[in-house]
Structure 1
Amino acid sequence: MKNDKKAFNDKNSNNKLPVKQTAKPEITEWFFMSSAEITAKDLWDFLKPLKLGELDLWEEMDILTLETSDKTSIDFEGMKKSFPDEKDRQFVKENGYSAVYSVSVSGDFPDLRILFEKILTQFQGGFYADTEDFKPSILSRR
């Protein structure tokens, strides 16, 4: 058994497994922050005419779900309470954001960036990756 393993790992051997190339993982957790006082209903009103898929609104909970035709689900959930970390709260304050949504994406939606940019044409703000430094980000043109 050891000899087989050695032959397999031998630099001169042609019995090497191909190196699997893995794609960079897509970001599935985002924050949408806007300087406008918006609700999930405002997002629903904006997205409905675009006919991107099925929209479900839970207005009293400030939650909107978009399910695209390829079964990708994009959930917007209003954050009633601010971030627990002071540094994150300071980021929101310094950028003048009054609405913050947690955005979860399940599935591979190739037009996600286009969707985010379209939302940002209506609502001033940005989409920020759920990372320690909020990067990468997609910002509206100011």
Structure 2
Amino acid sequence: MVMENLFFKRNISRVYDLKGSSRSRYNPDTTGANKVLLDMNLLETLRTEPIFLGSKAKRSLERAVWNDTSFLASVAVMDYSLLVGVDNERKELVLGIIDFMRQYTWDKHLETWVKASGILGGPKNVSPTIVSPKEYKKRFRKAMTTYFLTVPDQWSS
């Protein structure tokens, strides 16, 4: 788990809390310091300012996400995020899996069913935010792979 000092001695210009979902994942208030942006904010930004990773960095990120999500799913945990800090000064991303992590119990299963059915409103064609740990892991991995683009480097084949 990530400690409170993830951004210690860093000049972070933007912070993203990424869950791999589009449902309720946009922060309309993007002005001012210390704003935490969400998945849809990142996708909006990527249109004009893509985040490129070298192939080695991309493999490291994917391996870390794969290992961490495998562990979290094995202990029935979901609702975690990838916290991403953009350090423009050093031209680096600072990353860590964070959040209130909860187990997928019967109440979360019921919440998934209610949200997916659209009984309480909300779009039926958008995946609910609360899904099983296995589905959460799949959605999270796919999104993190998609969000960060690979730029070929001299070691790429």
* TM-score of the two chains, using structure 2 as the length reference: 0.26
The structure showing larger relative contact order (alpha-carbon pairs under 8 Å, at least 6 residues apart) is 2
Larger CA Rg, structure 1 vs 2: 1
* TM-score of the two chains, using structure 1 as the length reference: 0.28
Q: Pick the structure with more helix per residue.
A: 2
Q: Pick the structure with more strand per residue.
A: 1
